[in-house]
A and B are shown apart, each in its own frame.
Chain A
Amino acid sequence: MNTTNSEFEPKIVAFVCNWCTYAGADLTGTSRLKYATNVKIVRFPCTGRIDFMLLLRAFAQGADGIIVSGCHPNDCHYTSGNFHARRRWITFRGLLDFMGIDVKRIQYSWVSAAEGAKWADVVNSTVANIRELGPYTEYKKVAEYLDKEDYNG
């Protein structure tokens, strides 16, 4: 790719929990807060549902950054989904780092349904951060063969 970092528009996938962050992102919109448009939001019933394979899949399909966001601890709609998710993230993050996969490209956050401004801030700062880091070419190179033939069908 020839794009320099200033021209580079990061592609970011956000995996969010239906009960908090999704509603929070909705509030950002209804509050008419402007924020970066680089994010594609995928809605989940709970952060506990966000399998680590989904994150890997997002990277393989061309995401430069990922946001994973849910309810604050103790606020889970299902009581403990986010606690389970947190355990998984801690473990997964350690493994990714050990394998040299860029953990700086995954932003984890707690955004409640009332935190529209925080959601805008999380997105904006993640976009800025990824813009700085540049396109995630390493992982894309690994996944290159998926583009060459229609393996994903």
Chain B
Amino acid sequence: MDKLRERAAALLADGTVALVIGYEEGTNKPRPLFCHTAEDAGKLIYDSRCINNLAVYLTKKELMGTEKVAITATIPVLRSILQLSVENQLNEEKILVITVTEQGELKEFAGFAEIESYIADFQLKLSGKEQEIIEKLEGMTREERFEFWMKELSHCFKCYACRAACPLCYCTKCIVEENRPQWINPWAAPLANIEWHINRAMHMAGRCIGCGACGDACPLGIPIQLLTRKMMEDLGPEFGFVPGQPSKNGNALSTWKADDKENFIR
């Protein structure tokens, strides 16, 4: 951790970067920190409790000016960065990615290609609790599944924290703010909630990298990350998409293969 602070302070002091995005100690858990000066860098921390996906800030205009920005990246952040770069949302030259390896060593990436080879060793795994819910859902009838999701989604009050936390939700105008026509009603009601979550999942199809930031951000603990996760699995091997690995072959829904397999179209 000291090495990280030193390095961040040095980067800021010599003007290599104008900003370091990292974590600091919060009230109950670590929170994002934006260091503009070398002194700020003293507050930086990096450990297993740091779970916010900081990649979400890399598409924010107010942070990403003309200056170079450094980011302390966890594995999910590295994945997000790759996916964002595939979608042409990042300027490789303006971002300096730093991570701390499992051995506690500081690692700076020369470019996105290096990130790719680095994360290839890390498998994307569901947490025990997520696995439990998936297994529960798999054992259910369709009606029970509907009841499960309606009950879960009925808690949703449309705070859009899931959207705000997702590094890949970067549209300047979201469909829920679209009002001509108003496809999704803005209030929290059963239909409006189910439509919002279906939309969120569909817009993530083949793009979600499975960081789980949406579910972590949900103040009501709705396991919404499972919806996007499900999409990821659906598009998986069949279409050549590997969960957690950004695809270079384009977006799942804007590409196609003549021999896409299905068995429900007559």
Q: Determine which of A92, A100, A122, A143 lies in contact with B143 in the assembled complex, contact meaning CB atoms within 8 Å.
A: A100
Q: Is the CB of B194 within 8 A of A53?
A: no
Q: In the bound complex, how far is the Cα of B198 from the Cα of A57, in angstroms?
A: 12
Among A6-14, A26-34, A38-46, A105-113, the stretch in contact with B: A105-113
Q: Is the CB of A99 within 8 A of B260?
A: no
Q: Is the CB of B149 within 8 A of A87?
A: no
Q: Which residues of A contact B255 (CB under 8 A)?
A: 87
Tell me the A62-96 residues at the B interface (CB within 8 Å).
Answer: 73-74, 80, 83-84, 86-96
Q: Is the CB of A52 within 8 A of B234?
A: no
Q: Is the CB of B231 within 8 A of A95?
A: yes
Q: In the bound complex, how far is the Cα of B208 from the Cα of A55, in angstroms?
A: 23
A102/B142 contact (C-beta < 8 A), A90-B260, A95-B202 known: yes
Q: In the bound complex, how far is the Cα of B34 from the Cα of A40, in angstroms?
A: 56
Majority secondary structure, A binding face: helix
Q: How many A-B residue pairs have CB under 8 A?
A: 106
Q: Determine which of A86, A94, A100, A151 lies in contact with B142 in the assembled complex, contact meaning CB atoms within 8 Å.
A: A100
Q: Which residues of B contact A103 (CB under 8 A)?
A: 264
Q: Determine which of B146, B185, B199, B252 lies in contact with A99 in the assembled complex, contact meaning CB atoms within 8 Å.
A: B146
Q: Is the CB of B265 within 8 A of A91?
A: no
What 0/1 readout, one digit per residue, does chain B (243-265) give for beta carbons within 8 Å of chain A?
A: 00000000011111110101011
> Interface size class for chain A?
35 or more
Tell me the B79-118 residues at the A interface (CB within 8 Å).
Answer: none
Majority secondary structure, B binding face: helix
Q: Is the CB of B256 within 8 A of A80?
A: yes
Q: Is the CB of A107 within 8 A of B266?
A: yes
Q: Which residues of B contact A1 (CB under 8 A)?
A: none
Q: Which residues of A contact B15 (CB under 8 A)?
A: none
Query: Is A36 an interface residue when CB atoms closer than 8 A count as contact?
Result: no
What 0/1 readout, one digit per residue, does chain A (94-134) give for beta carbons within 8 Å of chain B?
A: 11111111110001111000000000001000000000000
Q: Which residues of A contact B254 (CB under 8 A)?
A: 84
Q: In the bound complex, how far is the Cα of B140 from the Cα of A132, in angstroms?
A: 22
Q: In the bound complex, how far is the Cα of B32 from the Cα of A148, in angstroms?
A: 45
Q: In the bound complex, how far is the Cα of B262 from the Cα of A103, in angstroms?
A: 14
Q: Is the CB of B260 within 8 A of A100?
A: no
Q: Is the CB of A122 within 8 A of B265?
A: no
Interface residue ranges, A against B (CB under 8 Å): 52-53, 56-57, 60, 73-74, 80, 83-84, 86-103, 107-110, 122, 138, 142-143, 145-146, 151
Other 14 A-B pairs with CB < 8 A, given A83-B260, A108-B266: A53-B184, A83-B258, A87-B239, A87-B253, A91-B234, A91-B235, A91-B253, A98-B227, A99-B194, A100-B144, A100-B149, A142-B150, A142-B190, A142-B194
23 A-B pairs with C-beta separation under 8 A? A53-B183, A53-B199, A56-B195, A84-B254, A86-B265, A87-B252, A87-B253, A91-B206, A94-B234, A95-B198, A95-B230, A98-B137, A98-B230, A100-B140, A100-B142, A100-B148, A107-B266, A108-B265, A142-B150, A142-B194, A143-B190, A143-B191, A145-B189
Interface residue ranges, B against A (CB under 8 Å): 137, 140, 142-150, 183-185, 189-191, 194-195, 198-199, 201-202, 205-206, 227, 230-231, 234-235, 239, 252-258, 260, 262, 264-266
The 3 A-B pairs of least Cβ separation, nearest first, read A100-B146, A100-B145, A83-B256
